[in-house]
Each structure stands twice: as C-alpha cells, then as structure tokens.
Amino acid sequence: MGAVKNMVKGFIFAAIYVVTTIVIPMLLFSWVRTMVVQGLPLDFEQQDYVSVIFWLTAFGLIISGCAFFTYSSPKQSIRRGVFALIQVLVNCLYLWSYKFSGASDITFVIADFGYFTLNISQMILVYMGVYFLTLVLKVYDIIDFSINREKIREDRMKA
Amino acid sequence: MNFLKPIVTPIGQFMVDWITVVFIFLQQNFGDDLTIFIVICVIIVISGIIINIVWPGDIKGSIFSKGKIEELEDKIDKDEEDIVDSIRRCKDCGNPIGDTEVCPLCGARN
Amino acid sequence: MRPSRVFRIIFRIFIFLLTISITLVSILGGLSAALILTTPDTIEVDTANADFDLQINNTTFVIEAFNFTLPFNLTNAGYFDLENLNLTINLEINYSHVDYPTPGVNTTRQLQIFTKSEYFGTIPKGTKGTFSFTGDLSNFDIGVFPNVTTEVDWYRGPPAIEFYANLIINLDYSIGLHSITIGILDLPVGGIP
C-alpha cells in the first residue's frame, strides 16, 4: 500500500473516531437535555455540561489524531504499535473524563418535581478492565513487531 | 466471579491510580483551554502525513529509506537465487533433473 | 502466519467479544433508562389513597400512634429487569410556630419527622410493580414534633400542619452497570385538620 492509500485509510479512521468520541456523545448530551420526564423538562447544570463537553472534545481530538497516525502506518510496523498504545492510553483518560467531569454520576433537576441521577461508574470500571486487556495486547504488539522486525519487512516487501 | 477479585482489583487500582494522576495534572494545567489539544492533534496528523510520505513502509519512499529497502530487495533476490541454485542439475549437460537419477535429456547417470 | 499472530488474533477476538457485549448491554441499558424516564406515569405515587394516621393523646398531648401507608406503582418499560429497588421516604411537616424565635413572632418551619427505607426487590422487564410503603411510630422522630397545644398556630391554614413527603427511589439496571436514583421532592400527602 502506498503513502496516499495509507493516508486515506488514516483519515477514514480519524473521521470514525471524531464521530464516535466527539459528535455522538455531544448529540447524546444535547438529546438528554431535551428529555421530558413525567411531563416536565430536565434541567442540566450548565457548568457540568461545559466541563463534560470540554474533556470529550479535548481527548476526542487527541484520540482522532492518534487514530490517523496508527491507521496510516504500515501494518505491523513499530510506529503503528507505539501510536496504537498511545491511543489506548488516551482512550482510558477519555473514558475517565466522564467520571471526573461528573458525567458518570450526573444529576438532572426536574423543575417542580424533583431530580434523577444516572450513575454509570460501574460501567466505566468494566470498560477500564477491557482497556487494560487492550493495553496488554498493544504492549505485546510492540514487542512482537520489534523482535520480528526483519521478518515483517521481508514479508511486506514480498507482498 | 469472586475468585477473580484478587487479580482484578489490583489491576483496576493500578489503572485508576495512573489515570487519576495524569487527569489531575491535565485539569490543573490545561483545564480551561482547548488550544493545546488542538495543537497536539494537528501535530500528530501533520507528522503522520510527513512520515508516511518519507517512509510509506512497503515501497521505496525516499532517499532516507532507499538503502534499507534495497538491502531487503537484495536479500529477497538472494533468497530466490538460492531456490534456483538448490535445484539438482545434470553433471554432464546442466539440465534440471530434480530427484531422478538419470538425466531425461542426455541419459547420463547422476 | 507467525504463531505470535495466531495468539494475538485469539486474544483480540476475546477482547472484541467482551467489548461488544458490554457495549450492547450499555446501549440497551441507556435506552431503557430513557424509556423508563420518558414514559408517562412510570412512577405513580397514589397520594389520594395514602393512609396517614396520627394519634395524639387528648390530655397529655403525647403522640401515641403513627401509621403511614403510601401505595405506589413503578412501570419497567425497559429491556432489563429493574433490580434492588429501594424506596426512602422522608416526611416533613410545615407549620407556623407560635412565638418563635421571640415572643410575638410566628415563624413557618419545616421539620423532618419521619424517615424510612424499604427494599422492594426486582421489577421484571415490561411489567408494572405495585407496592405499598408502610411506616410506623418506630420510624417517627417524636422529639422533633412540635407541641400541638402551645407551639402550633392553629389559626393558620387550613391545614395548620401540612405533611410533605420526599421520595428517593434507588434501583440498579443493566446487570448493575447503571444505577438510577429518582427523587420526588415536596410531594403533598396530607394535613391537619
């Protein structure tokens, strides 16, 4: 695969990550803000909303950048392995930002009725476990790519 | 699932610890401005583009990678030559004879 | 293919299946939470049939009995069972306190007189759970209650004493991955006289 094809692939994956880490969560939060509970509108603390959106955008951008680098790199290359590892680490921070910015335990005020709180901390912790396994896999990849560097290059040149 | 607890709990604690340290650092230093994150994203993308042009990985990219790739190509050619060399040939006429003892072309015993 | 790649593929498939399962449960759980909350009359607190029995001794003015029953329904419109349903009720009274804080001044006060949590278990998906919350004198904070003869301004109202309930409903969802707390605040449940 040539440089152009590599980059097209990188851009496609970067776009996918922009959509899944920034656009969809933003739309989801906007939709939640328009929800009507027991016939009454929800009130979402503006400060919480701003904080959540800030960290989603910040880490989403870095994840998308790393995704571009990762997927535009040749298969089984060390640079691909390194950036895939960085991407997983940033993904962990991204996920944790939900918890830190209060989105994992957010309280919605329903005017003249009360409130409701949705706590997804347990879900985030389960995802953390999966990310740890992914982290192990990425470290394994880097070791594998480094040890078998010559063999991988030969195979790539033959292809 | 309780038997997994002694393994899973330290792992979870390790993940939580390092993420907390990094996140608090980011919150304290870059918690109010997206610029730094945009700059990092742009730097990664631009460096990705440049590195891909210089080292595309599977074809000759530039003068920087030429030497290495040619070295590999030589190695591949050498491997192919080795395969050709490894075929048994007739001692008299040089015709490839494989595993047979008698050359099908000149009839000489090998 | 190198053996290291085969091992990697097996490990990758395992992580992929794990991620897909958690993601599906999470998405369905989120959708369910939205469905439960947006469906009209998901939580029906039957205040009209709330039984509120407060007995005060006519001579000593001591509270002798207190019974409280509040029927409520909760509809599970989601894709999973609602687990560990727990209801906490705090009862508050609102009254005008005579000569408080200084003689000649009446102040409206709100005091918490009752608190109790009750566990109601599980509501299977697609069903409506009908429950009745009950409380008695043991959950009642007698010391807080004002002296009905000297401290309550009976000329206010009616009712001179208003009872309000704060309902806090806790439940787990999506195999415990989501927890929901719903608070219904200052729900009028009765008054004296």
pLDDT of residue C8: 86
Q: Please report which confidence band the pLDDT of residue B63 belongs to, taking 50, 70 and 90 as the band edges.
A: very low
Mark the ranges of chain A whose per-residue pLDDT is less than 70: 1, 36-48, 100-104, 159
pTM to 2 decimals?
0.68
| Nearest Cα residue to C29 out of C175, C182, C183 | C175
Q: Is B47 on the interface with A (CB under 8 A)?
A: yes
Q: Out of A2-6, C11-15, C106-110, give the one with best mean pLDDT.
A: C11-15
pLDDT of residue A22: 92
C-alpha distance from B21 to closest chain A C-alpha (Å):
10
Pairing of strands A114-119, A105-110: antiparallel
Looking at A27-36, B57-66, C72-81, C106-115, which range is the least confident one?
B57-66
pLDDT of residue C94: 87
d(CA C170, CA C86): 5
d(CA C79, CA C31): 8
Contact list in A for residue C26 (CB cut-off 8 A) is 120, 123
Residue pair A76/A145 in contact by the 8 Å Cβ criterion: yes
| Nearest Cα residue to A33 out of A99, A95, A103 | A103
What are A's interface residues with C at a Cβ cutoff of 8 A?
32, 35-39, 113-123, 126-127, 130, 133-134, 137, 140-141, 144, 148, 151
**DSSP secondary structure of C61-82:** --EEEEEEEEEEEEE--SSS-E
Asked if pLDDT for residue C167 goes beyond 90, the answer is no
C-alpha distance from A35 to closest chain B C-alpha (Å):
28
d(CA C106, CA C102): 8
Mean pLDDT of C166-188: 84
Contact list in C for residue A126 (CB cut-off 8 A) is 22, 177
Residue spans per domain, chain C: 3-192
Contact list in A for residue C90 (CB cut-off 8 A) is none
**Cβ–Cβ gap A113/C29 under 8 Å:** no
Q: Which helix (H) or strand (E) holds A55?
A: helix A46-72
Beta bridge partners of A95: none
Mean pLDDT of C121-146: 84
pLDDT of residue A159: 63
Return the number of other C-beta atoms located less than 10 Å from residue B12's C-beta: 16
Contact list in A for residue B40 (CB cut-off 8 A) is 61-62, 65
C-alpha distance from C71 to closest chain A C-alpha (Å):
18
pLDDT of residue B64: 47
Contact list in C for residue A119 (CB cut-off 8 A) is 178-181
pLDDT of residue B58: 61
| Nearest Cα residue to C91 out of C183, C166, C185, C152 | C166
DSSP C138: G
Mean pLDDT of B21-25: 88
Nearest CB partner across the interface for B37, out of A62, A132, A158: A62
d(CA C113, CA C146): 10
d(CA B9, CA C131): 38
Candidates C1, C178, C187, partner chain A, best to mutate (most A CBs within 10 A): C178
Higher-scoring residue by pLDDT: C133, C39: C133
pLDDT of residue A105: 72
d(CA A76, CA A118): 41
> Hey, what are A120's tokens?
């997804």
Residue of B nearest to A154 (CA): B72
Neighbours of B, requiring at least 3 CB pairs below 8 Å, are A
